[in-house]
Structure 1
Amino acid sequence: MNVSVNRNTIWCELFVNILQQNSIKNVCISPGSRSTPLTYSVAINNYFKKYVLTDERNSGFFALGLAKSINSTVAVITTSGTAVAELYPSIIEAFYQRIPLLICTADRPFYLRNTGANQTINQENIFKNHIRHFYDANLPNLQMKNLIRFQVNLQKAIKIACEQKGPVHINFQFEKPFEPDSYTDIISSRTIKKIFQLNNLVQNSAGKRTTLKKDTLKLIEHVERGLIFCGFANYSKDFFYHCVRLSKYLNFPIVADGASGLRFGPQVNENIIENFNSLLKSKKFLENINPELIIQFGGAPTSNAMLDFFKNVNAEKIIVNEFGDKNDPSLTAKHFLKIHPADFISEVLNKIEKKNSNYWITKLEFLNQLAETHKVNFLSPIEEFFEGKVITELIDALPDKCNLMVSNSLPIRDVDFFAQKTKKKINIFVNRGASGIDGIISTALGIKADSRKLPTYLLIGDLAFMHDFNSLFNSIKLSLPITIILINNNGGGIFKSLPISSYGKTFKNYFLTPHNISFAQLINGLGCNYHQIKNWNDFKKQILTSSKKQKLSVLELRTNALESKLIRNKFWKSVAKEIDNQFDEN
């Protein structure tokens, strides 16, 4: 028996089946005409969780946040032309963070490229510098050999996304007609049955387990003064527990970057050093504290002070991650280990004797606590909205078991500088791959989509907020209420801490970006909740109550960038003096 079919529909239904076989359940869709076959095939399949986002840039970052939260691959569907290019910022971020995204772009037929055809650009490997794999699917063809080739290439792309952890681009070429009841071919029902019996499910292979070389083990074994540095990463759920075990076993303190998340949760103890940036302000500290070894998990440090320390300190450095990524902007590390952190820790615990000397770690813990006490005493009397105190008050006010997305620029630096340790389970998220300020709100909404029951908060500056303002509409459309803590210094506050700020008129006209926008009118106009924070008590109250509301809430704190700069400088000088005095007394 022969039946009439649309070859685009058959092609895409086979693709959808392969997604389902590989347990890719979440799909972000931006509407368009050329992508009709892809969208339709996903839309009619109840297996998938579908998120429709009009703006492709929003969609890409939303998928990024969702993939980070579920720790699994998310598919993104867009139409052809410039819509494809809108995805690039999120793809770059996913590439450097090693977040698995399956980028599915619709395209005109290859023969229309470079002919002036409407909405046609050269999409062939358009993201080549920031993807793990590219597959141009060519035009649908229902011959069995082409269907098998199509399936094998799809499976290969998905395998790479899942195992290498990164974005993969599949480009689908389609000719009209797109709708399923606009027929293009007549084939036998037996052939259709055979097509959908194709099943070449890719199993993710664990790969060969890496072991540590003897010289690496000897290096760790013979060192007494070591540091464990944890930067941002997509750590496994049990990593923090095992990292603390390693710290106690070696008597190496853990320097926890603010983006790492290691300062928050049940594993927190005295081995974790959260004020290392403050200690680095002391000349006496730099002169007297000389680690012999630094073991680094995750990404590079957030702060420039820590980066300079890495560059200038006379210590061996071991960079550990499962992909062998060279996360070392200081260019001083000699040892890059392509090994899963859990395997590294297990080998060290099993093959190196426990270190009993605790003089080194006790000394650093004492100095860390000294800096923490000084920080609390310094911030306590401040009544104006200083960003450093915003961080400590926020961490103190957040409920146990919540998500916190932190924007780039000043917010993540302030978290790194000022965030205190707490036993509360705060899941921290950052976009520290390329560290841009675009797509931050969309990423937070993607995180919320996975964990609807957890209160989700976003700490963001005014410029990053403006960059992604249109994503607030997605919060309403998708019923994803989050709380946004908006620090408004009227644009460009971070530049006042840079040397260019001394260049008068040039700095004022070309670096500062005052906007004088009333965010209240914009936010209320969208039907979201808005509140301008009056004082610190009001701030804490709003943090507690906002998460119970069923709409997105924006809590605005207006700060003065110049005053904040002066307070920061005063704090750094005072804490440096405190630490210097400690060395003078000894």
Structure 2
Amino acid sequence: MTQTQLIQQTLHTIAYLGVREVCVAAGARNAPLVSALLACSGVKIWNFFEERSAAFFALGRIMADRQPVAVVTTSGTAAAELLPAVIEAHYQNLPLVLVTADRPKRYRGSGAPQAIEQAGLFGVYATIVGDWDATDESHEGHCSDGPMHLNVCLDEPLETNVAGVDFSAAPPLPASEEGPPGALQCDLVLAAGMHPREAADAAALLARIGAPIIAEATSNLHGFRELQPLLIPGGEQALQSARPAHVLRIGAVPSWRWWRDLEDLPKIKVTNITRTGFSGLARTENVETLAWENIRSTQFTRIDPPCGILRFEPDFEKFPESEPSWVSKIAKAIPAGSRVFLGNSLPIREFNLALQTPKPGIELFANRGANGIDGLVSTFLGTSAVHGGECWLILGDLSALYDLAAPWVIAQMEHPRLRIVVINNGGGKIFSRVASMRALPEAARNVIENRHSLGFEPWAQLWGMEYLQTDDANDLADLLPMPMVIEIRPDPMHTEAFWKDWQKPVIRPR
């Protein structure tokens, strides 16, 4: 097989995997693939100067549109830059397709330049769809759940005059089939991490069950009128008052500590309905996990009487300059029809407290596969790339510092109304809420929290974004119709006081 045939076979394979968008980080070894891709029809190309941002941007595109997206890299350590996004995609069961150019197989183990061991580089986190060079007879790819890896070995001289293919000619992927019918009971529902389309399916089921629901913002359930009587505010605090017998967890694994504590409560039965296939618990006793397709066919009924549960509502006005209060102000400023991406670790927890009934059409996303702070700006930009309304990212300062190269792609996006809100509290303050961390000496806490005095105006200037630092929530209204970095600096004393007060919130019985 010639190199030209190998490249075209690779393109046909990713087209048949359902790919219609490709993120390219070009180099010498993948130049034949890049050149051929640019000659293709029926596919959108995004270009990046580095691979890590490309992979997280692709992850965001998949999260938004629920279609496979490919990332094409050159050889060597360039391929290794994909690993963080691959791990995130694995635990969210998202079809991230990795196409890594490589040197021929005979170079493996030689230590020759740009000849790392790329085959199997991603271990358990990606299925190897192909490890090909021109000496192979067959190049048949196959579809799988989660990330897929095609390693394409190209020898010199590199062929850069390869005709493209028509991606739109590939047949559409088959639709998922409904699971077998079943009947289950539950007395408490936990919901998190669902695409808005998935939330619509879940809402229909949950309305029939009629059990109380504690839902994270990313569940996208708060806008359904029929669920309003069932939704319980208060998150972690409300859960502490619950005494369920059977929990239904729907969507992603929740961020609440109460969920982790279920590890040591084996008498509480847990049923998961999730796309990922992961139970989110290490224990197996009284735990079952159903495929997402069961959501339409399974009949749940509420256990009577329902579990005891109280409603906890925070008082944001009491400490107006605290970080949670600022997140509440931001939530109120986000207009209807916006797409919102929430960063780990504190922002997602604080937004869960702040959200009651969102404005119409707001969609919420977050990276809750591995729960890391890596690549959040890039993933946000991926979810926002073709959205017509405003797009808001709320993240911490360390998360922003992790992803300073992300705005490279903004110039290729279709609309400019991006709002990157950086909550700058001078380090990783999530650790100050962990009991074991609070007992450490001050010098150790300084290192663990990565305390700093950096500001984000130079970052905005670097990428040509507008910059706003404000201590007045009124400034969040009527923002300029262009990409903006908005820096918020909460009062640390107010924040500490808020969390202490939250331990004794106002209790309103149901």
TM-score by length of 1: 0.79
- Superimposed CA distance per residue, residues 292-311 of structure 1 (whole angstroms, 9 cap, x where no aligned partner): 21111122220113432574
Letter in 2 for 1:325: F
- State the shift of 1:427 in Å: 1.0
- Superimposed CA distance per residue, residues 138-186 of structure 1 (whole angstroms, 9 cap, x where no aligned partner): 2366xxxx2xx21xx22x1xx22xxx2x11000000011113459xxxx
Question: C-alpha distance in 1, partners of 2:319/2:376?
Answer: 29
- State the shift of 1:418 in Å: 3.3
Letter in 2 for 1:530: Y
Distance 1:260-1:472 versus aligned 2 partners, 3 A rule: same
- Superimposed CA distance per residue, residues 467-521 of structure 1 (whole angstroms, 9 cap, x where no aligned partner): 0011123224546631111100011211111221222234234212122123213
Give the CA RMSD over aligned residues: 3.0
Do 2:181 and 2:294's aligned partners in 1 also have CA atoms closer than 8 Å? Answer: no
Residue 502 of structure 1 pairs with residue 439 of structure 2: yes
Question: Which residue number corresponds to residue 222 of structure 2?
Answer: 263
Letter in 1 for 2:192: G
Question: Which residue number corresponds to residue 101 of structure 1?
Answer: 96
Q: Which has the larger radius of gyration?
A: 1
Question: Which residue number corresponds to residue 465 of structure 1?
Answer: 400
Residue 250 of structure 1 pairs with residue 219 of structure 2: no
Structure having the larger proportion of residues in helix: 1
- Superimposed CA distance per residue, residues 388-426 of structure 1 (whole angstroms, 9 cap, x where no aligned partner): 112222222211111101111111121233322325221
Aligned partner of residue 422 in structure 1, secondary structure: coil
Question: Which residue number corresponds to residue 485 of structure 2?
Answer: 554
Residue 84 of structure 1 pairs with residue 45 of structure 2: no
* 1:97-176 equivalences in 2 (<5 Å): 97-139=92-134, 146=137, 149-150=138-139, 153-154=140-141, 156=142, 159-160=143-144, 164=145, 166-176=146-156
Question: Which residue number corresponds to residue 365 of structure 2?
Answer: 429
Distance 1:417-1:175 versus aligned 2 partners, 3 A rule: same
Which of the numbers 475, 488, 495 marks the counterpart of 2:424?
488
Do 2:266 and 2:286's aligned partners in 1 also have CA atoms closer than 8 Å? Answer: no
- Superimposed CA distance per residue, residues 401-455 of structure 1 (whole angstroms, 9 cap, x where no aligned partner): 111011111111212333223252211111110111111111111111132x121
Letter in 2 for 1:231: A
Question: Which residue number corresponds to residue 211 of structure 1?
Answer: 180
Question: C-alpha distance in 1, partners of 2:355/2:262?
Answer: 20
Residue 69 of structure 1 pairs with residue 64 of structure 2: yes
Aligned partner of residue 272 in structure 1, secondary structure: coil
Aligned partner of residue 280 in structure 2, secondary structure: coil
Question: Which residue number corresponds to residue 460 of structure 2?
Answer: 523
- Could you tell me which runs of 5 or more consecutive residues in structure 1 were left unpaired when the two chains were aligned: 1-5, 183-191
Distance 1:534-1:398 versus aligned 2 partners, 3 A rule: same
Question: Which residue number corresponds to residue 400 of structure 1?
Answer: 336
Identity %: 25
Question: Which residue number corresponds to residue 190 of structure 2?
Answer: 229
Question: C-alpha distance in 1, partners of 2:407/2:177?
Answer: 45
Residue 565 of structure 1 pairs with residue 496 of structure 2: yes
- State the shift of 1:251 in Å: 2.5
Residue 348 of structure 1 pairs with residue 328 of structure 2: no
Question: C-alpha distance in 1, partners of 2:393/2:226?
Answer: 24
Moved more, 524-533 or 68-77: 524-533
Letter in 1 for 2:52: R
Residue 455 of structure 1 pairs with residue 416 of structure 2: no
Question: Which residue number corresponds to residue 31 of structure 2?
Answer: 36
- State the shift of 1:339 in Å: 5.1
Do 1:405 and 1:429's aligned partners in 2 also have CA atoms closer than 8 Å? Answer: yes
Letter in 2 for 1:413: R
Question: Which residue number corresponds to residue 376 of structure 2?
Answer: 440
Do 1:9 and 1:178's aligned partners in 2 also have CA atoms closer than 8 Å? Answer: no
Do 1:321 and 1:337's aligned partners in 2 also have CA atoms closer than 8 Å? Answer: yes
Question: C-alpha distance in 1, partners of 2:207/2:51?
Answer: 47
Question: Which residue number corresponds to residue 244 of structure 2?
Answer: 291
Question: Which residue number corresponds to residue 409 of structure 1?
Answer: 345
Aligned partner of residue 249 in structure 2, secondary structure: strand
Do 2:36 and 2:161's aligned partners in 1 also have CA atoms closer than 8 Å? Answer: no
Do 2:18 and 2:173's aligned partners in 1 also have CA atoms closer than 8 Å? Answer: no
- Superimposed CA distance per residue, residues 260-303 of structure 1 (whole angstroms, 9 cap, x where no aligned partner): 2222456652212232323245xxx3xxx422211111222201
Aligned partner of residue 324 in structure 2, secondary structure: helix
Do 1:300 and 1:327's aligned partners in 2 also have CA atoms closer than 8 Å? Answer: yes
Structure having the larger proportion of residues in strand: 2
- State the shift of 1:27 in Å: 0.5
